[in-house]
Structure 1
Amino acid sequence: MMPVLHSTKNLEIIEPPTATREGVGVFEYTDNYTVFHYGRMPDLIPGKGEAICRMAVFNFTMLEAAGVPTHFRRFIAPNRIEFDLARVPDAGPLALDAGNYLVPVQLLFRNELPQGSSVHRRLAAGALTPAALGLRGIPAIGEKLRHPLIEYATMLEDVNRFIGGPEAQRLAGLSDEQFQAMRDTTVKVNEVLTGHARELGLSHSDGKVEFLVSSDAGIVLADSPGTPDESRLLFNGVHCGKQVLRNWYVDNGLEVPVSKLIAEGLPRSRWPQPAPLPPEFLPVMSDLYRSLSETWTGERLWNAPDLPAATQAVTRLISQ
């Protein structure tokens, strides 16, 4: 049962999955963060892992109460969850009769278009049109969409790419009924998470969800929906997650050009090392993650500042 590196989480395989039976896995949520598809960045944000884990547990419980099937099994305090483990498929389209696998396609939902949304970049590059968003012209930063936009993207590639529905269904190996169920579940997840955010005074601007196909061909929600690692949450216009850190790297010309490095065929061992964050970022981000988690779950564990104070500290930090 060796731990396996899994982005900001460590994966421990307790019981391997088979073609006919789900396995059992444990995610350990770490204090790492990732940006730019680089993988783990140099710094640790104290308390981030537990804050994210507790939000994930809360969301799985809330979504299951709303009728959404999930892979969640139990919470292992303070920063681990046990879950049903599916097989990771090989590259290429899947057979329609395959079972018990991680769907190699992620679904993204967008309710508004804040700073940092890839939509603005894709519109500027001509890779997306306003009409595809149901808009008459180029949207403003922060513009709210009349109806949520659902998009598809690959999930297991070095740098994931946006794809259309037909290609997503082909890669996922899903029947028409399964594919529609996956989309319908995404809409439901967005409704539940956005409604909860609204009650707390937060904006749930966008997010992504992942799924697995169970051994009985059911569509099951996976990963960590609605956490700031998977969703873009804002309070009074201030990002409550890694967009704060991404902006610092971009504003200071320190973004790691991962897509360019991959296109050039440069081995990962020769990629440049990202610059560390200024040390003053770490306590502010620690407070932000803990404050968001306490606000979201209603648990008071760390005596963190309230969300207005935590986001004001972020604003002061980035204005220096």
Structure 2
Amino acid sequence: MMPVLHSTKNLEILEPPTATREGVGVFEYTDHFSLFHFGRMPDSIPGKGEATCRMAVFNFAMLEAAGVRTHFRRFIPPNRIEFALARVPNPAAGPQTPAAGNYLIPVQVLFRNELPKGSSVHRRIAAGQLTPAELGLDDIPAVGETLRQPIIEYATMLDEVNQFIPPRHAQRRAGLSQAQFQAMRRIAVTVNDVLTARARAVGLSHCDGKVEFLVSGDGQLVLADSPGTPDESRLMYGGVHCGKQVLRNWYVNQGLEVPVNTLIAQHVPWEQWPRPASLPPAFGPIMSDLYRSLAETWTGEHLWDTPDLQSATHAVAHLIGR
């Protein structure tokens, strides 16, 4: 059984949702981080939760101004948001449809603007799981390549390990008509455009990201989760990752990655999985500065006694030996 604390956010339900009415929930953004589909890792990063929450609040306002309907209701400082809560479907029960009213769509939409080292695209092409043609590309993309047009992909949600799926499977799983599915894609493209423009304005690269959606009680598509935060988007400054990819790379380079896919394939219960190693102590303060500096750069707020983003990313690069 996978851990309950797979998310780095704590959920409080104030009003449960029904088929005809959204509920009300509160997300508390914690200082935890998750990697490898394991769940929460053993360490935490001081200030990560508040920094991520403030970026989410800023992005919801920016996206609403661009005409994107979101589930955001209000900010509860310093690290919580209130939001419209949808029902979570059981994938084994078959797809919901908008006629059923108010449900989380069990499909995530991914967009890719650049393909930095660590992008799953290179790994899947090398393994024969993906071809450039399936992505609309003529050749195998180079590491670090900036794409002429964003790549849009789909993946499952609510599975033990989520899997990439082709559009036709994504549409069926989402329970949407062709028109509704295309509308979801257009909204995802708009979200990507807005976030990419913001990143460019503050000197960052928005390499890739993902978004989630719910169907509201009145049958409309609504943007959910926390788009554009370092938990949902890959942001880079001066060639340095500004988020948990730094930590993922350290685990992989040290040979400490948790082999989740193998463990699940062998039906090993989560309780018997090996426990991840702790990070070296130096990571805590440096990653804390990184998250806070990223949030200040992104939102324009200045709340902490934190180095600027250039200094914070230089410290990260030194830490990981670049």
TM-score (norm 1): 0.97
**Percentage identity across paired residues of the two chains:** 73
Equivalent residues, number: 317
Letter in 1 for 2:302: R
Would you identify which runs of 4 or more consecutive aligned residues in structure 1 move more than 4 Å?
A: none
Matches within 5 A, 1:61-76: 61-76=61-76
CA distance in 1, matches of 2:136, 2:25: 41
How far did 1:6 drift?
5.6
How far did 1:174 drift?
0.9
8 Å CA contact 2:293, 2:312 repeated in 1: yes
Residue 40 in 1 paired to residue 40 in 2? Answer: yes
8 Å CA contact 1:46, 1:283 repeated in 2: yes
Task: Find the partner of 1:299 among 298, 301, 314.
Answer: 301
- Alignment RMSD: 1.0
How far did 1:187 drift?
0.2
Letter in 2 for 1:250: V
Task: Find the partner of 2:151 among 149, 152, 164.
Answer: 149
CA distance in 2, matches of 1:62, 1:71: 13
How far did 1:5 drift?
4.1
8 Å CA contact 2:60, 2:72 repeated in 1: yes
CA distance in 1, matches of 2:6, 2:242: 22
CA distance in 1, matches of 2:211, 2:137: 24
Residue of structure 2 in register with 1:265 after alignment: 267
The answer to which of 4-13 and 21-30 deviates more is: 4-13
8 Å CA contact 1:178, 1:218 repeated in 2: no
In structure 2, stretches of 5+ residues that fail to align are none
CA distance in 1, matches of 2:312, 2:136: 35
Residue of structure 1 in register with 2:95 after alignment: 94
Residue of structure 2 in register with 1:27 after alignment: 27
CA distance in 1, matches of 2:6, 2:27: 9
Q: Secondary structure at the match of 1:137?
A: coil
8 Å CA contact 2:6, 2:37 repeated in 1: no
CA distance in 1, matches of 2:141, 2:154: 21
Task: Find the partner of 1:230 among 215, 229, 232.
Answer: 232
In structure 1, stretches of 5+ residues that fail to align are none
Letter in 1 for 2:243: G
CA distance in 1, matches of 2:169, 2:132: 22
CA distance in 1, matches of 2:202, 2:43: 30
| Residues 246-300 of structure 1: per-residue CA shift (max 9 Å, x gap) | 0000000000000100000000000000000000011000000000000000000
TM-score (norm 2): 0.97
Residue of structure 2 in register with 1:288 after alignment: 290
8 Å CA contact 2:106, 2:174 repeated in 1: yes
Matches within 5 A, 1:1-320: 5=5, 7-92=7-92, 93-96=94-97, 97-319=99-321
| Residues 228-249 of structure 1: per-residue CA shift (max 9 Å, x gap) | 0000000011000000000000
